[in-house]
Every structure is written in C-alpha cells, then in structure tokens.
Amino acid sequence: MTQDQQTPGGQPAPQRGPSFGDSVQRVLREIAETVLPALIIVLFLNLFLIQSTRVQMQSMEPTLHEGQLLILEKVSYYLHPPQRGDIVVFRLGSNPSSHLIKRVIALPGDTLEIRNGRVYINGQLLNEPYESQPTYPNMPPQVIPTGSIFVMGDNRGMSNDSRSFGPVLQSDIIARAWVRYWPPDKIGVLR
C-alpha cells in the first residue's frame, strides 16, 4: 500500500513500523560499526604497542610480586636499545614459549663480574637499590657479546637468570615492563 491508499472504510491505512528482521539487521549493523573497530584497535595495540601480563614467579621481589598485573610496552626498543636497569620480558632461547621477566644488568660490550656478592660493571660497583640480597655465585669477568644483554632477577637467591642460561639476545626481548596496575595500592610506573 502506498501512502495515498486508504482502507475500505475510507480511512488512511495505518503506517507499519520496521519489521523484526529490519530491527535485528539495524542492531547487528550498529554492533559491527562499534565493536569491530574496537576489536581491531585492541588487537593492533596488543600485537604492536602494549600488552598485559601477570607476574608468575618470585624472582623479581621486592620490586614485583607474584600475581601483580603489569602493562608491557613494545615500542621503545624499536627506537633505542635496552638500558641498564630496565625490566624486560623475553623469550628464553631454548624454549620460545617460555617468557621470563628480569632486570637488565649489563649491556653489549660491558665487562661483568660478580665478586663477594656484589656486581661490577666495567670494574665499577653497580648501584642496585632494588636488590634484595647478595649476588652469588662469583663470576670471573666476562664481556657481554654484541646483540646481547645480561639479565638477573632482583631476588637473586630465587632467580633463574643469565647466571645460569647466559646472555639474552636482544632479538628475544618481547617488551619492557612499564606500569604495574594491580593491586591498586601498587599502581605506578616501574623503575
């Protein structure tokens, strides 16, 4: 019926609203227009810029505790190499599905030595305010290879780190630990 048509009693025909199918189609289109771009943005952020992770072990205490939630950022190491003191997440070369979180202690070309429970870089005692205990075992001086870093956990007695598996290739670094967002009383930028 067109708008000019009338019912048999001479009254104008009632206007019909959109059908159920039209309503469902409109809602699905609105969801697609809203949710799909949001999912694409989240996927892009997660793949290339940031991601969330949960601390699984005690090797970074007292800085990080098991169960805390962190935001990792993936951009800075495209702009500059890792810096001493950075907390990084990396793939362990022998097991690519295993990710560890540790602190960068020595950089490519640095000479690292552990003597009497203390870490020396290029002959200078490393200032480690985050360290919770002495560092053992002693290690004779060794030069960190090009393209690698030497990492250790802050909880030296409970950390599986470069002292046991050697320097980490910079290409195995996934991200830098950036912000702790859980628990709420510990929210802050990591240092």
Q: DSSP string of 122-144? A: TTEE---TT--S---S-EEEEEP
Q: Is 59 a catalytic residue?
A: yes
Of 74, 102, 159, 162, the catalytic one is 102
- For residues 24 and 126, which has the higher predicted lDDT (pLDDT)? 126
Tokens of 95: 């097991």
- For residues 19 and 16, which has the higher predicted lDDT (pLDDT)? 19
**51 closest CA partner among 70, 25, 64:** 70
Give the residues across from 36 on adjacent strands. none
Of 59, 148, 159, 162, the catalytic one is 59
Please give the Cα distance from 6 to 53 (Å, whole number): 66
**112 closest CA partner among 148, 160, 158:** 148
**Looking at residues 146-175, what average pLDDT do you find?**
95
Q: Per CATH, is 55-189 categorized as 3.30.420.40?
A: no
Q: What is the pLDDT of residues 86-136, one digit of tens each?
A: 999 999 876 767 899 999 999 999 999 999 999 999 999 999 998 878 999
Share of the chain above pLDDT 70, in %: 88
Domain residue spans of the chain: 55-189
Secondary structure (3-state) at 73: strand
pLDDT exceeds 60 at position 62? yes
Peptide bond into 183 cis (omega under 30): yes
pLDDT the model gives residue 184? 92
Q: Determine contact, residues 162/105, Cβ cutoff 8 Å.
A: yes
Q: Is 102 a catalytic residue?
A: yes
**Looking at residues 57-76, what average pLDDT do you find?**
94
Number of H helices, E strands in the chain: 3, 12
List C-alpha distances in Å: 32 to 22, 37, 43, 46, 47: 15, 8, 16, 20, 22
Indicate yes or no: pTM above 0.75: yes
Averaged confidence pLDDT in the chain: 88
